[in-house]
């Protein structure tokens, strides 16, 4: 059931207990976890933090810890499946789920006792009414009791006929009701999408308890920006949420505007920026950033020779000499950097890129350290999915979690370097896929498969990197193709996951349109296709549209998908 008062029904209940935090492996979950950890440390709530990256790990962690804990908090996992069925907990175990995955499973919504959903009243929840999907079991018992009643032989025949008629009527009603129920559930669960960021929900809780700090606000901003970078929410929702956060930012950071009374330069401050959406441009050179951001690279078509020429024209239009642009951004001439944002925006609109600037926030502390929210998102995401094998997978999670604290700047810089490598690898892969026409239309969707020997293909065996690659690929493809129908198709991307075990990771993303609502139907489609072909698939990720399957089953799986979706 939904928790209306987060503070009373969630926080007050766990403040005197020991809690197990199960945190999913994405940046939004990490940020929400940091905020909650800060609150717990403030109030001395004893907790244990276990990172989980899929359903199997969630189950294992639950089995290991269920004897020791009664209160579990799940962050960015668990809302979209029937938790009680999967985990089979005891009667006195409580789950608090703070998840941005939608649609929320109806069992979780209507369970009154054990499952509490920390979800803000989003306007797009649309949960079906209780009576439409659940029916009392007692009515069936009445029927069977009536059937077993004995009575006098004279009335028996008449009553028998009446009973038969009644029974068939009831059965027909039940069938109708069940058919309608299936339809309602199908409509409800068909599309996957994302709601408010968990980090923002946690920040809201902190604010309600008046324990919010600038640090927590920054984590909430990073959580929201992660949703935007990974294209999980619509532009409108992003702008609305930015507005909400902007109010908090001005509340915490208003002292900087007053010249006399401002804080020392070492204090952390957050500022609202209407800044360029070029990835990592302040920590890279402007040229590299233009080449490796999907928006500019797709619109300028940088995979072709003509595209490169257009880039040169673009730079010339702004009056930026090549030598300057290829240097590190911090070493560019101050005179060029002064009006950079406005200049770029003006020139960009001439080249068809109207949304080069985006509303975001930046953080400052000390003289050297200035980061945009998207920089932190890229750095943390690449730390979490780094392929350097340094122990179990949870080590990467821990590194990424640490990098979000301001004291661990070395890890953050390491993350930035990894992010640069990752972005370059993505751009090169996208360019090669488009130039070699690897993206083929299969009818109801586009399909692209990465071959074994492609450079950096190991980077894309991780779900978030692969999703990022697919989104960039789809954007570039839409700009490159002339076929109007293909522009509206969704994309399925496959990459080799584990060569020894012969598995492939497959990701489905919704079509790229101007006003897309980011709703993804591939979750259900994959499930159905896997069932119908008996393919050996593993639906391990919390996002249902990411699966792993055996390489041999790939072609029959795709055929089943094609027939399902056409």
Partner 1 sequence: MAGERAVGLVRELQRAAGGHLPPFRAEELRQALEEMRALYERNQADVSEAKAGRTDLIFLIRFRHCCLLRNQRCIVAYLYDRLLRIRALRWEYGSILPNAIQFHMSAEEVEWFNRYKKSLATYMRSVGGEEGLDLTQDIKPPKSLYIEVRCLKDYGEFEIEDGTTVLLKKNSQHFLPRWKCEQLIRQGVLEHILS
Does the protein bind partner 1 through residue 407 (CB under 8 A)?
Answer: yes
Does the protein bind partner 1 through residue 158 (CB under 8 A)?
Answer: no
Total chain residues near partner 1 (CB under 8 A):
24
Q: What angle do CA 348, 352, 357 make, to 5 degrees?
A: 45
From the list 78-86, 282-290, 388-396, 420-428, the region that binds partner 1 by CB under 8 A is 388-396
Whether 112 contacts 90, CB under 8 Å: no
Does the protein bind partner 1 through residue 46 (CB under 8 A)?
Answer: yes
- Tokens encoding 510: 């919704």
Choosing from 18, 156, 167, 309, the residue that interacts with partner 1 (CB under 8 A) is 18
> How many residues are given for the chain?
566
Does the protein bind partner 1 through residue 87 (CB under 8 A)?
Answer: no
Choosing from 398, 562, 564, 565, the residue that interacts with partner 1 (CB under 8 A) is 398
* Gyration radius of the chain over CA positions: 27
Strand partners, 361: 272
Does the protein bind partner 1 through residue 202 (CB under 8 A)?
Answer: no
**Residue 494 zone, left/alpha/beta (φ > 0; ψ -120 to 50; rest):** beta
Does the protein bind partner 1 through residue 75 (CB under 8 A)?
Answer: no
Binding residues for partner 1 restricted to 47-66, rule: CB under 8 A:
47-51, 64-65
Tell me the torsion sign for CA atoms 191, 426, 405, 330: negative
Per-residue three-class SS string for 18-47: CEEEEECCCHHHHHHHHHHHHHHHHHCCCE
Choosing from 308, 395, 428, 442, the residue that interacts with partner 1 (CB under 8 A) is 395
Q: In this complex, which beta carbon is closest to partner 1, that of residue 136 or of residue 390? A: 390
Smallest gap from residue 402 Cβ to partner 1 (A):
8
Q: Where are the beta strands (DSSP E) in 233-384?
A: 269-276, 357-365, 369-372
Q: In this complex, which beta carbon is closest to partner 1, that of residue 150 or of residue 391? A: 391
Smallest gap from residue 15 Cβ to partner 1 (A):
13
Q: In this complex, which beta carbon is closest to partner 1, that of residue 41 or of residue 250? A: 41
Does the protein bind partner 1 through residue 93 (CB under 8 A)?
Answer: no
Q: In this complex, which beta carbon is closest to partner 1, that of residue 48 or of residue 262? A: 48
Question: Which stretches within 24-133 are classed as H helix?
Answer: 27-43, 55-65, 83-87, 106-110, 130-133
Does the protein bind partner 1 through residue 392 (CB under 8 A)?
Answer: yes
- Tokens encoding 200: 């923002």
From the list 34-42, 102-110, 299-307, 522-530, the region that binds partner 1 by CB under 8 A is 34-42
- Tokens encoding 381: 């995401």
Does the protein bind partner 1 through residue 323 (CB under 8 A)?
Answer: no
Does the protein bind partner 1 through residue 68 (CB under 8 A)?
Answer: yes
Q: What angle do CA 544, 547, 551 make, to 5 degrees?
A: 160
Per-residue contact track with partner 1, 332 to 371, x per CB under 8 A?
----------------------------------------
Smallest gap from residue 43 Cβ to partner 1 (A):
10
- Single out the residue of 460, 459, 458, 451 nearest to residue 432, CA to CA: 451
Smallest gap from residue 391 Cβ to partner 1 (A):
8
Q: For residues 276 and 282, give the distance between their C-alpha atoms in angstroms, rounded to a whole number.
A: 10
Does the protein bind partner 1 through residue 37 (CB under 8 A)?
Answer: yes
CA distance to 34, 50, 64, 111, 133, per residue, from 73 (Å): 13, 11, 15, 16, 27
**Residue 238, H or E segment:** helix 235-252
Q: In this complex, which beta carbon is closest to partner 1, that of residue 49 or of residue 224? A: 49
Whether 548 contacts 566, CB under 8 Å: no
Tell me which residues touch partner 1 (CB under 8 A).
Answer: 18, 37, 40-41, 44-51, 64-65, 67-68, 391-392, 394-395, 397-398, 405, 407
């Amino acid at each position: 059931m939904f928790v209306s008062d987060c503070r009373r029904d969630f926080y007050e209940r766990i403040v005197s207990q020991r809690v197990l935090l199960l945190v999913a492996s994405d940046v939004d979950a990490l940020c929400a976890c940091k905020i909650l950890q800060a609150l717990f440390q403030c109030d001395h709530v004893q907790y244990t933090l276990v990172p989980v990256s899929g359903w199997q790990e969630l189950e294992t962690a639950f089995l290991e810890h269920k004897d020791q804990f009664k209160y579990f908090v799940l962050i960015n996992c668990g809302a979209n499946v029937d938790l009680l069925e999967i985990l089979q907990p005891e009667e006195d175990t409580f789950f608090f789920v703070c998840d941005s995955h939608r649609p929320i499973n109806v069992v979780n919504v209507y369970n009154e006792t054990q499952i509490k959903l920390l979800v803000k009243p989003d306007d797009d929840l649309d949960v079906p009414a209780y009576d439409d999907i659940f029916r009392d079991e007692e009515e069936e018992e009445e029927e069977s009791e009536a059937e077993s009643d004995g009575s006098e032989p004279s009335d028996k025949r008449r009553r028998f006929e009446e009973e038969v008629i009644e029974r068939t009527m009831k059965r027909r009603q039940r069938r109708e009701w069940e058919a309608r129920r299936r339809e309602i559930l199908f409509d409800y669960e068909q599309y996957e999408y994302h709601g408010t960021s968990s980090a923002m929900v946690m920040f809201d809780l902190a604010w309600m308890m008046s324990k919010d700090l600038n640090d927590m606000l920054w984590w909430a901003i990073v959580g929201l920006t992660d949703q935007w970078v990974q294209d999980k929410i619509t532009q409108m929702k992003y702008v609305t949420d930015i507005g909400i956060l902007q109010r908090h930012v001005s509340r915490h950071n208003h002292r900087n505007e007053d010249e006399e009374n401002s804080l020392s330069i070492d204090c952390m401050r957050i500022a609202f920026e209407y800044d360029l959406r070029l990835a990592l441009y302040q920590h890279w050179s402007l040229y590299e950033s233009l080449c490796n951001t999907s928006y500019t690279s797709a619109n300028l078509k940088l995979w072709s020779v003509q595209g490169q020429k257009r880039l040169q024209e673009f730079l010339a239009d702004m009056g930026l000499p090549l030598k300057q642009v290829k240097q590190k951004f911090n070493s560019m001439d101050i005179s060029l950097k002064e009006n950079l944002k406005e200049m770029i925006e003006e020139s960009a609109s001439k080249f068809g890129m109207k949304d080069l600037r985006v509303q975001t926030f930046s953080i400052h502390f000390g003289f050297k350290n200035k980061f945009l929210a998207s920089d932190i998102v890229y750095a943390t995401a690449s730390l979490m999915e780094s392929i350097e094998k340094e122990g179990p997978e949870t080590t990467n999670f821990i590194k990424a979690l640490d990098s979000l604290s301001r004291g661990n700047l070395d890890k953050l810089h390491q993350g930035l370097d990894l992010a640069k490598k990752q972005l370059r690898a993505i751009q090169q892969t996208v360019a090669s896929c488009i130039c070699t026409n690897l993206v083929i239309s299969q009818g109801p969707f586009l399909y692209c498969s990465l071959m074994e020997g492609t450079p950096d293909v190991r980077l894309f065996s991780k779900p978030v990197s692969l999703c990022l690659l697919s989104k960039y690929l789809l954007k570039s493809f839409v700009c490159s193709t002339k076929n109007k129908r293909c522009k509206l198709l969704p994309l399925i991307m496959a990459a080799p996951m584990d060569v020894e075990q012969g598995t492939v990771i497959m990701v489905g993303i919704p079509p790229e349109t101007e006003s897309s609502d980011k709703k993804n139907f591939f979750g259900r489609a994959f499930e159905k296709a896997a069932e119908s072909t008996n393919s050996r698939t593993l639906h391990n990720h919390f996002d249902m549209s990411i699966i792993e399957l055996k390489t041999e089953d790939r072609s029959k799986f795709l055929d089943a998908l094609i027939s399902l979706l056409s």
